[in-house]
């Protein structure tokens, strides 16, 4: 059997190892209820996504930027008349997100332990607020199984080149596993590595992308329970 050069596996965290986007959706429901007198649900959602898109370059990914974008949207749709009480409710909703207990996804622990036991170097690679990601990793109980943790502002080819050179044998001998085609899979394929898509039930509008066509290093799995078979087959 042909041996693969795969030595290092990167795991995304949010919506790959633990639930995340579902909390954003629940908070958006609460946000819509708070502003129901001023904006219909669809219009509010559209304005919120537009604000998040505008602000991404300023605030980066994560709950803090999301909270600021909700406030900005509330000011916009109420034409500046939003009350201090409603702003207070939005801030409270954001703080509550930052205190939510971490809920691991099915198969997450087994996939990480299995990849470690199979002798691969493991790197956790995630975007988001530094403090919040560190908190979630600590609560997840998975931190000790990773050789390295990289909390980054963007997931680009250059970022994967750098991370897999630092912690592995270069991107071409690496694999990235994650729920976002746009952030986890496409730039890793561009860097010459394996890109493994494991979809989550819901995808944030700003992470939407089409699956790559005709790339021999692209794989899609129904869930993380199938990862051990994939890496065994590549061996």
Q: Which residues bind Mg ion (CB under 5 A)?
A: 12, 14-15, 179-180
- DSSP structural state of residue 105: P
Two structure tokens written together for 19: 């639930």
Quote the least distance from Cβ 113 to Mg ion, whole Å: 20
Nearby residues of 129 by Cβ (< 8 Å), 6 or more positions away? 60, 61, 62, 63, 64, 65, 98
In the complex, what is the shortest distance from the CB of residue 199 to Mg ion, in angstroms, rounded to a whole number?
Answer: 10
Residue with smaller CB distance to Mg ion, 12 or 129: 12
CB of 201 to Mg ion, least distance (A): 12
Measured CA to CA, the distance from residue 81 to residue 64 in angstroms comes to 23
Q: Smallest distance from the beta carbon of 196 to Mg ion, in angstroms?
A: 13
Select 74 or 187, whichever has its Cβ closest to Mg ion.
187
Q: How far is CA 128 from CA 68, 151, 173, 180, in A?
A: 14, 7, 26, 14
- Residue placing its CB nearer to Mg ion in the complex, 120 or 200: 200
Give kind and range of the element (H or E) at residue 191. Answer: none
Q: Which is nearer to Mg ion, 27 or 73 (CB)?
A: 27
């Amino acid at each position: 059997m042909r041996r693969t050069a795969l030595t290092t596996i990167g795991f995304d965290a949010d919506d790959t190892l633990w639930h995340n986007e579902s909390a954003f959706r629940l908070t958006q429901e609460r946000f819509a209820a708070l502003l129901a007198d001023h904006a219909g649900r669809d219009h509010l959602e559209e304005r919120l996504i537009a604000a998040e898109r505008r602000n991404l370059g300023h605030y980066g990914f994560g709950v803090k930027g999301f909270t600021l974008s909700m406030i900005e949207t509330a000011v916009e749709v109420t034409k500046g008349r939003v009350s201090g009480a409603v702003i207070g409710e939005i801030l409270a909703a954001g703080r509550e997100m930052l205190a939510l207990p971490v809920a691991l996804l099915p198969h997450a622990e087994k996939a990480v332990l299995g990849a470690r036991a199979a002798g691969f170097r493991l790197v956790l690679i995630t975007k988001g607020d530094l403090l919040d990601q560190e908190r979630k990793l600590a609560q997840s109980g998975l931190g000790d199984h990773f050789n390295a943790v990289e909390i980054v502002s963007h997931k680009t080819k250059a970022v994967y080149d750098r991370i897999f050179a630092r912690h592995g044998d270069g991107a071409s001998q690496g694999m990235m596993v994650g729920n976002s085609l746009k952030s986890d899979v496409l730039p890793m394929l561009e860097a010459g590595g394996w890109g493994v898509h494991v979809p989550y039930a819901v995808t944030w509008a700003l992470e939407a992308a089409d699956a790559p066509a005709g790339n021999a290093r692209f794989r899609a799995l129904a869930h993380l329970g199938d990862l051990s078979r994939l890496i065994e087959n590549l061996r």
